[in-house]
Amino acid sequence: MVSGGPRSLGSFLGDNRDRFAERRRPQTGLPPHDVSAEEAVIAALLLDDDAYARVLPIVRPEDFFREQNGWIYEACLSVAERGEEVTIPTVAHELDRAGHLDEAGGEPYLVEVAGKYFTAVGVETHARIVARDALYRRLIQAAGQIASLAYEGGPDVKSVLSQSEGLLLGLRTAEAAGDFKALRDLLDEFLEAPEEDADGELASAVRTGFMDLDELLAGGYKRGDLVILAARTGGGKTSLMLNLARNCAIGQQGTVALFSLEMGGEQLAMRMLSAEAGVEMSRLRLGRHTEAEEAKVMRAHGHLGTAPVFIDDSAVLSVPEIRAKCRRLQADHGLDLVVVDYLQLLHGAGRADTRANEISQISRSLKELARELRVPVIAGAQLSRAVETRNPHIPMLSDLRESGSIEQDADIVMFIYREDMYLKPQEWQDQHPEEPGGAHPTGLANIIIAKHRNGPTGSVTVRWVDKTASFQDLLLRPEPGYDGF
């Protein structure tokens, strides 16, 4: 932290007016950039511990035009990620360790940058300027590549168009890495009916909302738990995670952060609305629901509209970015549950020589996140194809992809097993001749607790509702004050 004599706001603005004016003048031959904004971001990191959580989701080291500023920014992130205080000596040490201290200007340059600013106010705005200019530079680069493709020409116009679209789509995908969206806002976009917001802050365990499962888990998920929920593709892990998020937000008025790397926020909101109303999503999407169903949809919208569920559907995320966003949400609204769909789509924060080591780093970071924020973290995970090669197809811990680290870091490992996915009624009857006809487990699912660090393992049976892709207790119990579906 750099200290100096007191400076008034007027003095600060006067000292920096010429520099900002110079920054705005076009510089022939140079792509869009703003060195002053870059320096302001670095200074904020040196001046304010809270700046790290605010800038990390916005700007990356490669977004900096001046390479030395990018090195310094990356060093700041590395220091903060280790839980150390970001100061001039710690950043200088990190730069020296990376072999960039002299090239970055040494400690004198860090002192100079930190001395230009006396506050971290506006750091998010400065970070967006840096990120925006970086996007413009990438756009210029893509335009050059497209121009090169066009000059080369050739008989295959469709190929040139496809490559050009791919370059632009890559830019759009990177630029679209968004932030939280309140569930009520996503629902309001569909029904155009604003509702009040609600906050919740739970002091005890987060209940799953499934009676037998809560009993097996001794009341629900504990704060600091890392919960892995795994199933084969199409087994319903996303649906169950949405159920768990809904049950926390509505059943306990808890605040939920939902990170979806696979599906868009609007699609998730529609799935939750379909499950809550008991109306097929295809009928909702096409507007083919009846008047009676319309009434259910409106009631469900009112019910979900107050749920403090915040959805981030960024397609590319790392655990440090999730941590920064969760810190902000916790400060603004409180936080009771974090849901990540799903683990294998996350990116590691650093370099890893193998994918297994990267997954190990991710699972360990998620556990650290749960302990740091004191909330349960539920992360979806994929099962390997090994489960398909044996009979019965009941999952086990070794079926987890890159299972060693995931199994080690998790406090609870849950599997979804639906026998009706593998056996048709006649096949099931042939294998169970002693069972009466019609006993095929249609619409039933087993939630298997394969690992429970602080309690028993076991299995519970719940109902799978295929038309709304949701899970329910076998014994439906209406919530107080709600007339149900």
Q: Which residue has the tokens 């050739």?
A: 154
> Which residues touch 2 (CB under 8 Å, ≥6 apart)?
46, 47, 88, 111, 114, 115
What is the Cα 254 distance to its own chain's centre? 18
- Listed residue (82, 42, 36) closest to 59, CA to CA: 42
Tell me the one-letter amino acid at 481.
Answer: G
| Alpha-carbon gap, residue 92 to 99, rounded angstroms | 10
Determine which one of 103, 262, 427, 479 is catalytic. Answer: 262
414, two tokens: 């849950």
Q: Strands across the sheet with 470-472, in order?
A: 181-182, 309-312, 256-260, 337-341, 377-382, 226-231, 412-417, 444-452, 458-465, 470-472
Question: Where are the extended beta strands (E) located within 131-188?
Answer: 181-182
Nearest Cα residue to 470 out of 228, 265, 240: 240
- Bridge-partner residues for 341, per DSSP? 260
Angle at 52 between CA 50 and CA 53, to 5 degrees: 75
Q: How far is CA 465 from the centre of its chain?
A: 26
* Angle (CA) 20 26 27, round 5°: 105
Whether 165 is a known active-site residue: answer no
Residues with a known catalytic role: 262
